[in-house]
Structure formats: C-alpha cells, structure tokens
C-alpha cells in the first residue's frame, strides 16, 4: 500500500513510541484516524491496537508501528505531524504548510497561520479485554 508523504517530527515519533511501549499491546501499534475537520483543519483520534485492522497500512515510526486506514493516508499527505506539550494542552498536532488561510476569521488583518489541530491525550481509548486473552 502507498504510504502518505507525511513528516513525523522526532517529538511525535517519541510520543508514538511511548504510547505503544507503555500500553497493553507493546508489540502492536498506534492506529491513527485523521479526517478533514472544518476551520481547524483536521480531526484525529488514536487507539493502541495489537494489530492493524483490515485495510490499514503499517508505517514504521522508529521501532514501533503506525496503523493508518485509507482515509487517514489520504488526509495526511503533505502534513507535518508533531507533538506539543504545554501547560494548557498536550498531544499530537498536524500542520499543513501549504494550507490557505481560513476565510471565516473576523479579524481580517490577522496574519495567516498554517492549519493545525491538536489531539488530546484524553482521546486515548482502552479497549475492553475479555477473559482468557
């Protein structure tokens, strides 16, 4: 499967690596679902999975795996994935360096910033386990 041309910063790679290694599935990977999301640019959720789901492609990130469904591969094309950790928020960010400024801003003189979205650590979902597994 064709992988997206996405830049993953060292900070994002470190975050992905830590999330997988300290999860219930350290041999698995992070499944990242990214979709277009209005003026903020992107909406994203991730889970740590034991294996990719049907239709996912596996992208190596350092020593771990990133599982990407087809819709995520298309959206991630040309983006920069980073990790931000500030006093007010922490999570993955996605920047499209070639994005046009949003036309819905009420401050017409504001400088145009690249499209960006933050994915909170609160979006991590634990899957229930069944007895015997």
pTM across the whole model: 0.71
pLDDT tier at 94 (50, 70, 90 boundaries)?
Answer: confident
Question: What is the mean predicted confidence (pLDDT) over 105-116?
Answer: 44
What is the residue extent of each domain of the chain?
Answer: 7-99+114-121
Domain 7-99+114-121 has CATH 2.60.300.12: yes
Instruction: Determine the Cα–Cα distance for residues 35 and 57; give it in Å rounded to an integer.
Output: 16
pLDDT at 89 over 90: no
pLDDT at 37 (0 to 100): 73
Average pLDDT over the chain, rounded to whole? 79
Average pLDDT of span 3-18: 93
């Amino acid at each position: 499967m064709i992988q997206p041309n996405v830049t993953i910063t060292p900070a994002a790679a470190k975050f992905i690596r830590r999330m997988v290694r300290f999860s219930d599935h350290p041999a698995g990977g992070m499944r990242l679902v990214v979709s277009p999301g209005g003026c903020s640019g992107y909406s994203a959720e991730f889970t740590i999975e034991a294996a990719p789901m049907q239709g996912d492609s596996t992208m190596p990130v350092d020593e771990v795996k990133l599982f990407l469904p087809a819709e995520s591969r298309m959206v991630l094309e040309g983006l920069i994935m980073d990790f931000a950790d500030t006093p007010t928020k922490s999570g993955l960010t996605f920047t499209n360096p070639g994005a046009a400024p949003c036309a819905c801003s009420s401050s017409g003189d504001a400088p145009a910033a690249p499209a960006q979205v933050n994915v909170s650590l609160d979006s991590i979902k634990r899957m229930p386990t069944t007895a015997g597994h």
